[in-house]
Amino acid sequence: MRPCLVGIGGAGGNILKQFLQSQDVNLIGHQFGEHLAYGEVKGLWLESATQDTQRQDYYGSLAQGQYPPYLICHGNVGDSSDTRKYVSETYGFDLKAPGFDRRAEYLKGIFEVFEFDSKLKDICLKEFKSDENPLSGYMWRVGVRPFTIISIGKSSKRTGDRADSVLESGSGNISSISSLSRGLIKVPKIRGGNGSSSSKLCDSILFVASLGGGTGTGFINPITSYVRTEEPIFPIFALGILTEKGTDKRQAKEGQRDLGAVIAMYDLLTKKSGKGIDGLILVDNEILLQRFEGNYSSMDACIYSALKPLLDLRNYPGDQLQDDSPAIRRVFWEVDESNDNDKEKNGAQERSDGAKENLLPPILVPCYHTQPDYAGDEPELVEGALGKPGSIFPLGEDGRLFPCDPTKADRALVFTRGFFSTKGIKDAVQKRTGLPNNKIMVYRKLGDSKTEDMLILLRNPYGGAPGEHERQGTLEWRLYDIISESIKYIENNEKNILGFQSYKEPTKDKLRAYFYGENCLRDELYNCLDRLEKGERPVFLRPLSIFEDGGLVPVASASCKQETDVMGSAGLRDLVKEELKEILRSEDCKRRIKEILQS
């Protein structure tokens, strides 16, 4: 697979640096041809804090055509933008906020108002023509999309049209936006937008972000939603790094960061197949912290090394296509054959009325081990990655990068670099995890001659037995810990959560309803704890939103009403009809139809 790596926020940018290290000769900063990173991946850093981009010299501005690039998320929103003014005056959110102070709900709120406030949509469309959301639309269209094969696909013309319309935008900031966009829109053409070098474009997206911050956690879903409007099955993965315990460098308390992480994981893992990401790879910084004694560069380097077997392009002869991104995506979503005794697989649940709920994205835990090629064979590598049988605590002594019990995984994707037989790998993994052969996927790369390594992605390694949340070293235990901390933070910090800076009263009401209302986040987190105690999965089930009803009038529990997932085909038909009627009635739709007719 050749993903486009999108590092979001400070931590995302630091980790991405490792992945984008040049594999080429350094000619005093000059690069003939394309920048070469390991696995020929491409990448960019999305950041909201302009000052952070100025304090470093690794990334260059995408606006100036530099590579590796950074992109300021709100780069196309002018200081006097009408949209910005409306959002600020109505909700108290600042679209050009230089960071989000570890508040996942802030960014979640910003994106939701664009989704649900029809008046804002109109203002935004008027100002930005092509985008209903000036942040995510901009990041996708100008930042990520040009690096992916989608840029040469069926929808490239549509995007070209969008880009043109941005250039023709009649906003008050036309000069800055136009000049910026012109420079940026060149990028896809330079990097193969003409289709001549499509093989070098990325076949998937891998977001890299810290869970627990503001920027990193908040941008993944909105960008994914944009991608999904063009390509519902384009592979999108996310690598989320859970922050360490205790107070961090920025004095953000554990509870606050845990709440950010829980909101982020919650939102990522409750978007159904085709609407959100295809898998969340979890890394626990607490484990890396213990292993590297707080050396953050080494911790970042470890994450990079662990993913190298996944990115390596030197497949065994005849195996070239087995690990392309669509194939990996397929395995991530793969569901077992129906079995009456086992009605719960990979987030697919059968309800009491017999209707099936859509699949939810899986959690993947990376386990990595490397050793000199003379040090042993497959069993040693597997043991190095997954730990010795029965030993799951203390953490950091084996290759698991997130607490889990490997025997609970429902699939294992094994990526190796070295010379191994498939059978040897399968036997070793089967012995350690107890998984049947058909649930162990092996992807062999030729690797180098000095060392051999193995990355095992364990899919959903949790659930199945009650009380596991009390057993140290399990995934249930770690999730239980951060969810409990989040609940504590919600309960003890109402003023801190709702009284943030310039929130307007309607926003406070919505946030109050989201955090403290009936059937809202706090209640749902208690339900999550129940599920963890009982050993049920998935942990996160019910999508929650802050502004779902769209109005400015405060509504308590209604804003968190459960999505109607379970319905027969007749119900679905009615729902689609209603939705279509709603769309056709909207001003935006009428205006668009008018434009089409005029053109």
Partner 1 sequence: MNLLGYEISETYLLVGLVILLLLGRIFHLMYLRMIESIVRKTADSDFDFKDLMKSLHISQGSNFNLIMIFSWSLFFVAVAFLYFLTPDIFPQWNYFKFPQVASWEGGFAVMGMAVLIPGLFVSLFVPRAYSYYLIHRILKEKVILIPALLLASISCSINLGTIYPATDPFLWNLGYVMVFAALALMIAPIFVGFLEEWRK
Residues that bind partner 1 (CB under 8 A): 22-27, 30-34, 36, 40, 313-320, 373, 419-422, 444, 446-450
Compute the least distance from the CB of residue 375 to partner 1, in Å. Answer: 13
What is the spatial distance between Cα 280 and Cα 270, in angstroms, rounded to a whole number?
11
Q: Name 371's bridge partners.
A: 452
* DSSP-derived 3-state class of residue 69: strand
CB of 323 to partner 1, least distance (A): 12
Position 291, amino acid: R
Residue 376 or residue 464: which is nearer to partner 1 going by CB? Answer: 376
* Beta carbon of residue 27, minimum distance to partner 1 (angstroms, whole number): 5
377 vs 549 by CB, closer to partner 1: 377
Nearest of 193, 197, 196, 241 to residue 216 by alpha carbon: 241
Nearer to partner 1, 439 or 537 (CB): 439
Nearest residue (CB) to partner 1, 366 versus 447: 447
> In this complex, which beta carbon is closest to partner 1, that of residue 25 or of residue 553?
25
| Contacts with 26 (C-beta within 8 Å, 6 or more apart), sequence order | none
From the CB of 314, what's the least distance to partner 1, in Å? 6
Q: What is the smallest separation between the CB atom of 331 and partner 1, expressed in angstroms?
A: 18
Cβ neighbours for 224, distance < 8 A, ≥ 6 positions apart: 236, 271, 276, 277
What's the half-sphere exposure (Cβ side, CA atoms, 13 Å) at 567? 11
Q: Do 378 and 434 meet the contact criterion of CB atoms below 8 Å apart?
A: no
Contact 209, 217 (CB under 8 A): yes
- Nearer to partner 1 among residue 20 and residue 395 (C-beta): 20
Which uninterrupted H or E stretch holds 275?
none
Nearer to partner 1, 203 or 284 (CB): 203
How far apart are CB 199 and partner 1 at their closest, in Å?
Answer: 11
**136 or 416: CB nearest partner 1:** 416
Q: Residue 43 Cβ, how far from partner 1 at the closest point, in Å?
A: 16
Helix (H, G, I), strand (E, B) or coil at 68: coil
Residue 345 or 444: which CB sits closer to partner 1? 444
Q: Least CB distance from residue 412 to partner 1, whole Å? A: 18
Contact 5, 206 (CB under 8 A): yes
State the Cα angle at 318 between 313 and 322, rounded to 5°.
60
How far is the C-alpha of 280 from the C-alpha of 591, rounded, in Å?
Answer: 39
- Closest approach of partner 1 to the CB of residue 320, in Å: 7
Between CA 529 and CA 532 the distance in angstroms is 5
Are 93 and 103 spatial neighbours (Cβ–Cβ below 8 Å)? no
* Packing angle, helices 475-492 and 254-269, rounded to 10: 120
Q: Closest separation between CB of residue 297 and partner 1, Å?
A: 17
Taking CA atoms, 539 is separated from 24, 55, 254, 514, in Å, by 44, 40, 21, 19
In the complex with partner 1, which residue's Cβ is closer, 448 or 505?
A: 448
DSSP bridge partners of 281: 239, 364
CA distance 227 to 212: 24
Q: How far is the CB of 380 from partner 1 (least distance, A)?
A: 16
Nearer to partner 1, 248 or 312 (CB): 312
Per-residue burial over 143-167, b if 16 or more Cβ lie within 10 Å, else e, is bbbbbbbbbbbeebeebeebbeebe
